[in-house]
């Protein structure tokens, strides 16, 4: 089985002909399914673009949402729309809703959106403010109250997503007894994955570029199941990074550039395990 891993596509920045050209690249890769680790578009266009992609490539699309996918609407609104879309289109599978997927015998796929939670870095003295707190309704409402309220809301969203991921991982492990699990999330779960211009992101940006809640779940599960391999794929930073946190847990963040969507990796799954090849465009 061959999977195309994509992240931070921001397809709303392209016109339809440009998007169709990108879809043709995916089709040419002769894959069985697509994985997307967030930021496909924005809230006003995400459903239409996902439907367009599914119609063009005619393959299952397993995805999570990124922060940009919520821009200009609320988290609650977008998730309601995405659930409705997932019910209508069998090719579109939002992982927090569709749950656990057995891709091949011994290989599971799960995912969660994963919000930045302000727990790494120095949030209290941080001068940075990102568009999330202006363009995502719930975050904007809390920012109007105070910076403390904003942090609390970020952590609430992140913790809810981490709890959902923990439940799905536990169910998958107990139900399928897998050899390996692929995990999609958007925000990097560890500081080691937060890279900018070849260096780890400084403490000012770490609160907004990492989700400790997600990382804590991954470490706890991987420690408790040392015979299972966990492969996590994320995005958000637009810079490539790869880290092996413990022997059975690896995390890879994808590189991305606005206006130039690309296939990050072709992931091949067999009874022997998974292999990751560079994008055919690289």
Q: What tens digit of pLDDT does each residue of 118-167 get?
A: 999 888 877 777 899 999 999 999 999 999 999 999 999 999 999 999 99
Residue 34 has pLDDT above 50, yes or no: yes
Domain boundaries, the chain: 2-278
User: Phi and psi at residue 243, in whole multiples of 5°?
Assistant: -145, 140
Give per-residue pLDDT as tens, 67-89. 999 999 999 999 999 999 999 99
Do the Cβ atoms of 267 and 3 come closer than 8 Å?
yes
pLDDT in tens, 217-276: 999 999 999 999 999 999 999 999 999 999 999 999 999 999 999 999 999 997 556 777
Nearest to 161 by CA among 125, 195, 187, 182: 187
d(CA 224, CA 109): 18
* Calpha distance 193→182 (Å, rounded): 17
Q: Which residues of 195-221 are buried (b: 16+ CB within 10 A; e: fewer)?
A: beeeeebeeebbbbbbbbbbbbbbbeb
Architecture of domain 2-278: 4-Layer Sandwich (3.60)
SS3 state of residue 257: coil
């Amino acid at each position: 089985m061959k999977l195309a891993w994509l992240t931070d596509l921001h397809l709303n920045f392209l016109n339809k002909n440009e998007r169709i050209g990108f879809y043709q690249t995916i089709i040419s890769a002769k894959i069985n399914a697509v994985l997307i680790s967030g930021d496909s578009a924005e809230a006003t266009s995400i459903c239409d673009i996902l439907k367009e992609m599914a119609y063009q490539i005619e393959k299952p699309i397993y995805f999570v949402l990124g922060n940009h996918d919520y821009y200009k609407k609320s988290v609650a609104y977008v998730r309601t729309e995405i659930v409705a879309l997932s019910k209508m289109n069998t090719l579109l599978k939002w992982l927090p809703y569709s749950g656990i997927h057995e891709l091949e015998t011994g290989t599971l796929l799960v995912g969660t959106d994963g919000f930045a939670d302000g727990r790494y870095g120095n949030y209290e003295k941080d001068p940075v403010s990102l568009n999330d707190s202006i363009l995502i309704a719930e975050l904007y409402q809390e920012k109007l109250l105070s910076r403390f309220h904003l942090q609390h809301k970020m952590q609430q969203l992140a913790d809810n997503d981490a709890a959902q991921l923990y439940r799905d991982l536990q169910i998958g492990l107990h139900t399928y007894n897998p050899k390996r699990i692929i995990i999609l999330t958007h925000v990097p779960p560890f500081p080691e994955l937060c890279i900018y211009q070849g260096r780890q992101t400084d403490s000012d940006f770490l609160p907004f570029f990492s989700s400790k809640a997600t990382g804590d779940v991954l470490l706890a599960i991987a420690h408790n199941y040392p015979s299972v391999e966990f492969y996590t794929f994320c995005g958000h930073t637009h810079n490539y990074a790869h880290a092996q946190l413990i022997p059975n847990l690896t995390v890879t963040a994808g590189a991305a550039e606005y206006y130039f969507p690309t296939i990050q990796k072709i992931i091949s799954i067999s009874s022997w395990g998974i292999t990751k090849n560079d994008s055919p465009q690289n």
